[in-house]
Amino acid sequence: MTDAVAAFEQGLERCAAEYPAAFERAEGEHALRAANARFAGPSGELTLLMKRMPELPGDRRRDLGQRANKLKNEIQEAFNARLSGLAARAREQELSGPHLDVSLPGRGTPAGRLHPLTRVKHELLDVFQAMGFDIADGPEVDLYEHNFDRLGFPPDHPATDMQDTFFVRLSDEEKAAAKSKRPIVLRTHTSTVQVREMMRRKPPLAVVSAGATFRRDDDATHSPMFMQIEGFMVDEGVSFANLKGVLTHFLGRVFGPEVPVRFRPSYFPFVEPGGEVDIGCMICRRWDPKVKADACRVCKNTGFVEILGCGMIHPVVFEHVGYDPERYTGFAFGMGVDRIAMSRYGVPHLNMLYGNDPRFLTQL
Amino acid sequence: MLVSHAWLQELTGLSLDVDDVAKKLTSAGIEVEAIHRFGEGLDKVVVAEVKASNPHPSRDKLKLVTVFDGAAEHEIVCGAPNVPAPGRRVVLAQLGAKLPNGVEIAERALGGVKSLGMLCGETELGVGADDSGLLIIDEELHGAALPGAPIADALGLRDRVYELSLTPNRPDCLGHVGVARELCALLGKTFALPKPAATPRAQSGAWAEPSEQLFPLSLPGTPAQGAPLAKTFRVDITAPDRCPRYGAALVDGVTIKPSPFAVRYRLHVLGQRAINNVVDVTNLVLLLWGHPIHGFDADHVRGSRIEVRLARAGERMKTLDDVERALTADDLLICDGEGPVALAGVMGGAGSQIEPSTTRVLIECAYFEPRTVRRTSKRLGMHTDSSHRFERGVDPSAVRHVLADAAARIAALGGGVVRADALDVVGKAVAAAPIALRKERIALVLGMPIADTEIERILGALGCVVAPAHAGYSVTPPLHRPDLTREIDLIEELGRLTGYDRLPTVRPAIRASEEGTPARITLVRRLREAAASAGLCEAVNYAFLAPADLERARAKPTAVVIQNPMTEARCVMRTSLLPGLGQCLREAQNTQQKTFALFEVARVFGPPQKDQAITELPHESHQLALLLWGQRPSWYREDESYDFYDAKSVVQSIVQSLSGHVPSTVVDAALLEEEPALHPKRSARITLGDSAIGVLGELHPDVVSAMELSGRPVFASIDVARLETALLALGRPKAHALPRFPSATRDVAVVVAEDIPAGDVVAALLEAAGPNAERVALFDIYGGDPVPAGHKSLALHVVYRGHSATLTDKEVDAAHAAAQKAAEARFSASLRGRTEKPK
């Protein structure tokens, strides 16, 4: 019987003697767990020893049992302590170790880009939408009538020269099928949408529209297809002061409230009084007293560049769409998106806008 | 329109500041685009008097000219053929002068003789176009042009020329008189028309009665002589609607010669070439009054008769520029007793023009109906200074004083005698109707009232007759302002001359509309944003292209043709977005780019459709198209190429991000015919719910070659209208409660014939695995040893989950065994490896 006691006691003593060193030698979690298993695992030395407790004489079972349990707890605590020590060391090493190579590229598909024209278009439309304008749309190929006559372009008038027009015909078989022979054009401005919306709807109206327009012009500063934004408002009592209010607010939101805005008279057949709006040149900023401006190609040293055309909707337009010009007044405005996009993103050549070179598109 | 500052000062009698004039005009809508400077850069260029002229010792063509420059005599070597006699004065560029053409004058030897300066001609000085010899100062100018006087002062060369960008509603500003009048109105000064002295003028705005057709044209310094014109020449207007008024005057005994320097120089600064005294006068009068006139050699006006009539169909005439013109019955002609002598308002005819031998000049000053001139000039492609003004509308009431002025000037410069009378034939009276102008309306439109005194001042300064009337004024506009016909035109003038910057700025309250922004517009915008988020860059291509571009891309032939294209490369409207994107890809490949992922959302054009509101317009439909090619971006590894599945993923993520619904790709036999641009074996239809919304696939290898591309580009397109309909049909996706019980996953590997779509296997497994199978996911496809030839091995996860309790292993295994068995039976599949729970 004493053999069993002696063996048990030796076993306990050996375990007690060896586990601290074994734990100490374990340099990682895995090794530590293995070391722990050697003593306290399902077939560990202490576990096996404790399974043999029934073999102990009854008078010793209690105190040896307590010693075994105490040792087991000690090992458990030592294990936990060592484990957290190792974890702390590992964290310490990671925190003080080499840096992650953050220069490696990000993983996954890089985001694409909206075309600069689209981005500018969205930005401008957003400002008007926030003011309460609806967005509308119209066809790019439209009746001559919508593009000119209903906007009050007098027949055989040089005003049509301001917008050199592409005329369209349907291919022969389509032409044969079409009943009417009204002339068709590629719209030269988005003002067609103004006519169409006014014919379709009744005041009050505040509408803005953006899209492709076409003129027979192709040089360094003109593209035969270009983007325009057009807007108009019709209600009772709308005045030129309101036109100035809306456009001044709009330009302030888009270009910054500090940029000067200048209204001056101009002529478009479908508005009267008609005007053009200049804003302070964003390239030389010579209007800013803090800036010492050099010679500027963009504004020819005037400090201003033309940004949009506008005016009070001509009564003749109201007559053409069936509104009472005595009751309603309104204003309209239109601007090219291309030039705003070019100045906004510093695009050096107009043809880059329509060249769609991915190397250009991914720059912005 | 070029406008001389000096002339404006003469006309207004004011001393004007150049920048102030430019600012005032621009802010009034008469935009000054540029200001050109004349008479500058002429330091050390002075008047010199010729004292002697001797032959050069060694050179035949050179002379040694001794001149006196006010301080000393100098010997100048000169090669000009027209060295004048001693006593005449010329222009000397002294040593150290730098001429406007860049030449610097230094002492240099010509043929061994030192020249102490250079005698100059017009072109060297930049004061004219005559390069035939020296500029010899007119003797009339000797009073101011003393030897040694700086040439710019002596000849009055200093001027500024405003380059105006005029809008087509302001024909009055196409002459200096109109600009001067406008300027006076802006400055609050009184303007008076320049007077050709003793000539009685028709009142502005009023027309002479037909009985007044004859009016005396006695001009100062040119005693009227000879037979009355009316007895010599007869003028008949047979198309009075087209030519409401025609005036003619005759100057006899004219000598054709160069104009004096002052006239030539004024024409020069205004961009005109001096020709001879008579032609110069017609140009000068046009630039002064903005009213084109025409000079005929009266001896070549056959039958002593002028008839203004419409051309006969098939009639032809040769114009001044020596071009034979075919006319139509819409063209207005000036004819003599035998045939056409001018295309009315556009250009004179060959044969009756002023020649060096001309002695009798018949001056025409007429008012032609603007649309007539416009149509003729447009149809014949003849845009002239004359047609430019007539088509915008000249002042019909100006006929008499313009005629008188022209006659006086021709007589003065040509030494002729003006006939005692002239003709002013009125075919049809043109009068301006009075316009009612309401003060209340002014305030409503401009947003502020204008004071009565200002209304009267502004409109009066523009030439209107303003009379008080009920609620405001009755305003009769002047005939030089054909743009003023309605109340709103007058309100604009009030706003314009008040200054837009002085009008108030008030943001209006905008009432919300019933309708709002249409869903389609929002959808198109979200599509673009989704496509960009999916990793594509947006392209914006021209909507027009060449028919061959469509052919190469196997797109439908176009129904929409541009009648007047600028280039054959852009002469029809596109029916597909592929040609445009394909061209972008070609350029990317040609510039050694390795990857390409572009999309475009734009319209394509087809034949009209029956349900259209306007039946003759082409049908426009929005498309989203994308083209992928080249290296797929990956993480610092050798890149792989974009393929079908990349495009599919992009299409799915685009549609999913805007709707929550995921489109599928299915093989459809009809696709081959419908989309011949796509690879027959590597393409699919894109479906969403029950609807086909687009196509997706590699480009057909033949299309790749035809479009001069390389590799395997993948194209997809979605029809926005169909997408919109499909999304409407599907409605919004619905949310479900999250599962409460854990899932259990089993894997299976099945070997099936190569041509069996994985999707079919997935669907079959899902169905056979019973109601607790939640999803089946493919995680590997493998071909080659040990999988038999013509087969592939698919490895799949099947995920099971109980709806009301956690499934037991036994339940899962039973369901999984059933699924496997069904797959085996359905696809003659063999199972590879053993069924196992994933670790």
Q: What pLDDT, in 10s, does the model give residues B519-530?
A: 999 999 999 999
B228 lies within 8 A of chain A by CB? no
Starting at the edge strand that comes first in sequence, how are the strands of the sheet with B773-782 ordered? Answer: B773-782, B791-801, B743-753, B830-831
Question: What is the SS3 string spanning chain A?
Answer: CHHHHHHHHHHHHHHHHHHHHHHHHCCCHHHHHHHHHHHHCCCCHHHHHHHCHHHCCHHHHHHHHHHHHHHHHHHHHHHHHHHHHHHHHHHHHHHHCCCCCCCCCCCCCCCCECCHHHHHHHHHHHHHHHHCCEEECCCCEEEHHHHCHHHCCCCCCHHHHHCCCCEEEECHHHHHHCCCCCCEEECCCCHHHHHHHHHHCCCCEEEEEEEEEECCCCECCECCEEEEEEEEEEECCCCHHHHHHHHHHHHHHHHCCCCCEEEEECCECCEEEEEEEEEECCCCCCCCCCCCCCCCCCCCCCCEEEEEEEEEECHHHHHHHCCCCCCCEEEEEEEEHHHHHHHHHCCCCHHHHHHCCHHHHCCC
Query: What is the topology classification, in CATH, of domain B435-502?
Result: Phenylalanyl-tRNA Synthetase; Chain B, domain 1 (3.30.56)
CA–CA gap between residue A230 and residue B748 (Å, rounded) = 61
CA–CA gap between residue B661 and residue B653 (Å, rounded) = 9
The tokens of A106 are what? Answer: 């990000």
A102-143, pLDDT tens digit by residue?
A: 888 888 778 899 999 999 999 999 999 999 999 999 999 999
Number of domains composing chain A:
2
C-alpha distances in angstroms, B343 versus B370, B380, B394, B426? 14, 11, 17, 19
* A185 and A51 part of one domain: no
Pick from A62, A96, A130: which residue ends a domain? A96
Q: Which residues in chain A are contacts of B595 at CB distance < 8 A?
A: 358
**Closest partner residue to A156 among B167, B374, B511, by Cβ?**
B374
Q: Is the pLDDT of residue B213 over 50?
A: no
Q: Is the pLDDT of residue B830 over 90?
A: no
Pick A177 or B613 by higher pLDDT.
B613
Q: Is the pLDDT of residue B577 over 90?
A: yes
Mean pLDDT for all residues in chain A: 90
pLDDT for position B51: 93
Query: What is the topology classification, in CATH, of domain B519-730?
Result: BirA Bifunctional Protein; domain 2 (3.30.930)
* A71 and A198 part of one domain: no
pTM tops 0.90, yes or no = no
* A310 and A184 part of one domain: yes
Q: Which residues in chain B are contacts of A314 at CB distance < 8 A?
A: 488
The predicted complex's ipTM stands at 0.86
* d(CA A169, nearest CA chain B) in Å: 5
pLDDT for position B526: 96
B603 lies within 8 A of chain A by CB? yes
Angle between the N-to-C axes of helices B176-187 and B277-289, in degrees from 0 to 180, rounded to the nearest 10: 30
SS3 (DSSP) at B814: helix
Query: Whole-angstrom distance between the N-terminal and C-terminal Cα of chain B?
Result: 87
* d(CA B657, nearest CA chain A) in Å: 14
- Mean pLDDT within B347-365: 91
Q: Is the pLDDT of residue B427 over 90?
A: no
SS3 (DSSP) at B792: strand
Lowest mean pLDDT among B125-139, B262-276, B557-571: B125-139
A300-319, pLDDT tens digit by residue?
A: 888 888 999 999 999 999 99
B606 lies within 8 A of chain A by CB? no
B531 lies within 8 A of chain A by CB? yes
Query: What is the topology classification, in CATH, of domain B196-426?
Result: Phenylalanyl-tRNA Synthetase; Chain B, domain 3 (3.50.40)
Residues of chain B with pLDDT > 90, as a percent, come to 66
**Closest partner residue to A275 among B500, B534, B564, by Cβ?**
B500
- Mean pLDDT within B242-264: 90
SS3 (DSSP) at B222: strand
CA–CA gap between residue B788 and residue B753 (Å, rounded) = 9
* Tally of residues, chain A: 364
* d(CA B409, nearest CA chain A) in Å: 32
* A129 and A164 part of one domain: yes
Q: How confident is the model at residue B219 (pLDDT cuts 50, 70, 90)?
A: very low
Q: Which residues in chain B are contacts of A113 at CB distance < 8 A?
A: 532, 537-538
Residue A105 in domain: no
B455-468, pLDDT tens digit by residue?
A: 999 999 999 999 99
B359-409, pLDDT tens digit by residue?
A: 999 999 999 999 999 999 999 999 999 999 999 999 998 888 898 888 888
Smallest Cα–Cα separation from B67: which of B124, B117, B122?
Answer: B117
Q: Is the pLDDT of residue B812 over 80?
A: yes
Residue A76 in domain: yes
CATH of B743-831, one of 3.40.50.300, 2.40.440.10, 1.10.3720.10, 3.30.70.380: 3.30.70.380
* A130 and A168 part of one domain: yes
* d(CA B447, nearest CA chain A) in Å: 5
Q: Is the pLDDT of residue B174 over 50?
A: yes
> Is the CB of residue B100 less than 8 Å from the CB of residue B43?
no
Test B500 with A265 for CB contact under 8 angstroms: yes
pLDDT for position B204: 30
Q: Is the pLDDT of residue B210 over 70?
A: no
Q: Is the pLDDT of residue B829 over 80?
A: no
Test A204 with B501 for CB contact under 8 angstroms: no
Q: How confident is the model at residue A179 (pLDDT cuts 50, 70, 90)?
A: low
Q: Which residues in chain B are contacts of A212 at CB distance < 8 A?
A: 543, 602
CA–CA gap between residue A75 and residue A96 (Å, rounded) = 31
Test B503 with A240 for CB contact under 8 angstroms: yes
pLDDT for position B827: 80
CA–CA gap between residue B614 and residue B604 (Å, rounded) = 17
Pick from A65, A96, A127: which residue ends a domain? A96
> Is the CB of residue B22 less than 8 Å from the CB of residue B57?
no
Smallest Cα–Cα separation from B748: which of B783, B790, B794?
Answer: B794
Q: Is the pLDDT of residue B67 over 80?
A: yes
Q: Is the pLDDT of residue A251 over 90?
A: yes
Best A239, A352, A354, A362 member to test B by mutation, with max B CBs in 10 Å, is A239
Q: Is the pLDDT of residue B503 over 70?
A: yes
The tokens of B252 are what? Answer: 């006899």
A-B C-beta contacts closer than 8 Å: 287
Q: How confident is the model at residue B214 (pLDDT cuts 50, 70, 90)?
A: very low
**Range(s) of the domain holding residue A58:** 2-96
Q: How confident is the model at residue B517 (pLDDT cuts 50, 70, 90)?
A: very high
Pick from A96, A130, A160: which residue ends a domain? A96
Q: How confident is the model at residue B215 (pLDDT cuts 50, 70, 90)?
A: very low
- Give B 468-527 residues with CB within 8 A of chain A: 486, 488-489, 491-492, 495-496, 500-501, 503-508, 510-513, 515-518, 520-521, 525
Residues 6 or more apart whose CB falls under 8 angstroms from that of B364 comprise B246, B247, B248, B293, B294, B295, B296, B306, B334, B342
Q: How confident is the model at residue B212 (pLDDT cuts 50, 70, 90)?
A: very low
Pick A339 or B584 by higher pLDDT.
B584
Pick A228 or B209 by higher pLDDT.
A228
pLDDT for position A170: 81
Test A244 with B486 for CB contact under 8 angstroms: no
C-alpha distances in angstroms, B158 versus B25, B287, B770? 21, 19, 100
| Domain CATH for A165 | 3.30.930.10
Test B29 with A267 for CB contact under 8 angstroms: yes
Q: Which amino acid is at B330?
A: D
B563 lies within 8 A of chain A by CB? yes
pLDDT for position B551: 96
| Domain assignments of chain B as residue spans, ordered by start | 45-157, 196-426, 435-502, 519-730, 743-831
Q: Is the pLDDT of residue B207 over 50?
A: no
Test A170 with B608 for CB contact under 8 angstroms: yes
Residue A111 in domain: no
Q: Is the pLDDT of residue B196 over 80?
A: no
CATH 1.10.10.10 describes domain B45-157: no
Give CA A144 to chain center in angstroms. Answer: 38
Cα within 13 Å of Cα(B363), Cβ side: 35
pLDDT for position A285: 87
Q: Which residues in chain A are contacts of B618 at CB distance < 8 A?
A: 141, 168, 170, 174, 184
Q: How confident is the model at residue B633 (pLDDT cuts 50, 70, 90)?
A: confident
Query: Whole-angstrom distance between the N-terminal and C-terminal Cα of chain A?
Result: 89
Q: Which residues in chain B are contacts of A159 at CB distance < 8 A?
A: 168-169
Best A120, A240, A304, A312 member to test B by mutation, with max B CBs in 10 Å, is A240
Lowest mean pLDDT among A183-192, B442-451, B707-716, B779-788: B779-788
B590 lies within 8 A of chain A by CB? no
- Mean pLDDT within B638-665: 92
* A164 and A213 part of one domain: yes
- Give B 291-320 residues with CB within 8 A of chain A: none
